[in-house]
Chain A
Amino acid sequence: QVQLQESGPGLVKPSETLSLTCSVSGGPIRTYYWSWIRQPPGKGLEWIAYIYDSGKTNYNPSLKSRSTISADTSKEQLYLKLRSVTAGDTAVYYCVRWGTLRGESVQHWGQGTLVTVSS
């Protein structure tokens, strides 16, 4: 059974870097597409980035300059770094697994982790 577990600080100060980890169980990272998706309180879903083939990436243009997605296949973990955060980055951050091909749906979601940006 596939399980995704996000972890990271729940509170980040403005201008600092948000760092999240997603621990994966139940399937090899290198086989699938993986993303971080966020959801500000009371708002919709926003795709941040995806990674596949253990290192190929694609980013939402609106966040590309500040974000980095990466993976460690030996640890079966995914990572997100978002730099220079502001209050507008306050959101629930989800780690998700797509299928093995681009174009498929999200098949598994983590439970999400709330990150609040505040001094």
Chain B
Amino acid sequence: YVLTQPPSVSVAPGQTARIPCGGNHIAGYSVHWYQQRPGQAPVLVVYDDSDRPSGIPERFSGSNSGNTAILTISSVEGGDDADYYCQVWDTNSDQPVFGGGTKLTVL
């Protein structure tokens, strides 16, 4: 199973960033999203398509429909400048799969 993400997304501070993750019938999978700041380990920001772990701001939200899942970050701040990875479990192989990652640049 292949997850496809754009290499980069740019957004001005205060605007909304939308990071897509494409996969065949991805709506049938639970999608998880991770944020990775430079030099740090990834951090879970959204799980099961649209749930937020404790401590993650409400500005982070997720949706999943058809062949595309989307991580939405509203009121973008400089600290959101990071790489973002989507991830699902391939039910055929019982293996986790990561997207290639998207670098979010806050202009």
Contacts and interface: CB of A to CB of B under 8 A. Distances in A.
Contacts of A44: 85, 98-101
Interface residues of B, number: 21
A109 B41 CA distance: 7
Q: Which 8 A-B pairs have the closest CB atoms?
A: A105-B32, A109-B41, A105-B47, A44-B101, A45-B98, A103-B89, A47-B96, A44-B100
Interface residues of A, number: 20
Given A50-B95, A103-B89, 12 more contacts: A35-B96, A44-B85, A45-B42, A45-B98, A45-B101, A47-B96, A50-B96, A58-B95, A102-B89, A102-B94, A103-B30, A109-B41
A110 to B, nearest CB: 7
A112 B42 CA distance: 10
Interface in A87-113: 94, 98, 102-107, 109-112
Interface of B: 30, 32, 34, 41-44, 47-48, 85, 87, 89, 93-101
Contacts of B47: 104-105
A106 B42 contact: yes
Contacts of B99: 44
B41 A110 contact: yes
A60 interface: yes
A46 interface: yes
B101 A109 contact: no
A20 B47 CA distance: 28
Nearest to A92: B41
18 contacts: A44-B100, A44-B101, A45-B101, A47-B97, A50-B96, A58-B94, A94-B41, A98-B96, A102-B89, A102-B94, A104-B47, A105-B47, A106-B32, A106-B34, A107-B44, A110-B41, A111-B41, A112-B41
A45 B85 contact: yes
